[in-house]
Amino acid sequence: ALLPYVPHVPPAALPGKITATTFTLERPHCIFDRHANASDTVWLVVALANASAAFQNPPCQAAVPPYERLPSAHSYMTLETAAAAFACSALSPAVLRVGDDTACGAQGGRDPCNGPLPSPGPYRVKFLVMSCHGPKAETRWSDPILLRTAGSPSTIDPSPTRRGSDTVVVASLLASLAAALAVVALGAVGYGGCVGRGMHPSYRTHHIPPALPQPLPPGSGCRCGCSPPPPGCFAPHPPRPCPAK
């Protein structure tokens, strides 16, 4: 039986009514009572808009197209629910969420599930009443439902904000200060071995680059004065006189 009901997104404002991977449908109420028994189930058929016309209702529940079929066949069935949940006497939520089961496909199974929608669409949906012998009744296809997409890169303001400009200025000042301190430190190291009159002695840095070998003590067998000296051997150099004042 073809029912006159048309599935649709609720007109009221709802949080997350349409997202990039999900959308909300109004739950049918008192629609299947005359066509479904207590043992029947109601499925939601989800298809890309251009594939809804070619969709074939499965002859039995064993032939229900699973969620994993969407990329190749562009349609699948989900939200298997007892027909009693849509009866006039049923106390059930007013909406259905399509695509909110993020665990779909995680175990590699092919059971029908309510997984996230992989593209913006548009999609069309319909409800299908199934018994153990096959389809019994169906609604009409919905109007196309288009999901939300990310904003265009052209909408991003390329100019930095006030806070960002202040951050750049502070970073520039810190870099200049660090450079000035480095120059002062190098000057102090250059005069580290000289003690002039009326001046306090300065000290050399104790940092020695790890790549440079350490000189061996006298009498250790190193033939200093050889040309070139073997590794670890340094030829003695006379101490450099202090610059004249």
Decide if pLDDT at 182 tops 80: no
Indicate whether 33 belongs to any domain. Answer: yes
Indicate whether 37 belongs to any domain. Answer: yes
User: What is the tens place of the pLDDT at every residue in 26-75?
Assistant: 999 999 988 988 899 999 999 999 899 999 999 998 899 999 888 899 99
Q: How far apart, in Å, are the Cα atoms of 160 and each of 164, 165, 245?
A: 6, 6, 54
Indicate whether 111 belongs to any domain. Answer: yes
* Percent of residues, the chain, with pLDDT higher than 90: 42
Indicate whether 157 belongs to any domain. Answer: no
Contact 99, 116 (CB under 8 A): yes
Indicate whether 102 belongs to any domain. Answer: yes
User: What is the tens place of the pLDDT at every residue in 207-226?
Assistant: 445 444 455 445 444 443 44
Decide if pLDDT at 130 tops 80: yes
Domain containing 73 equals 2-148
Decide if pLDDT at 170 tops 50: no
pLDDT winner (highest mean) among 83-97, 143-157, 183-197: 83-97
> How many domains does one find in the chain?
1
Indicate whether 8 belongs to any domain. Answer: yes
Indicate whether 192 belongs to any domain. Answer: no
| pLDDT of amino acid 108 | 60
pTM: 0.61
Q: How far apart, in Å, are the Cα atoms of 194 and each of 120, 187, 239, 242, 243?
A: 76, 12, 11, 6, 8
Contact 110, 144 (CB under 8 A): no
Over residues 82-90, the mean pLDDT reads 89
Q: 78: exposed, middle or buried (C-beta count within 10 Å: 0-12, 13-18, 19+)?
A: buried
164 CB-near residues (< 8 Å, 6+ apart)? none
Indicate whether 43 belongs to any domain. Answer: yes
Output the average pLDDT for the chain: 73
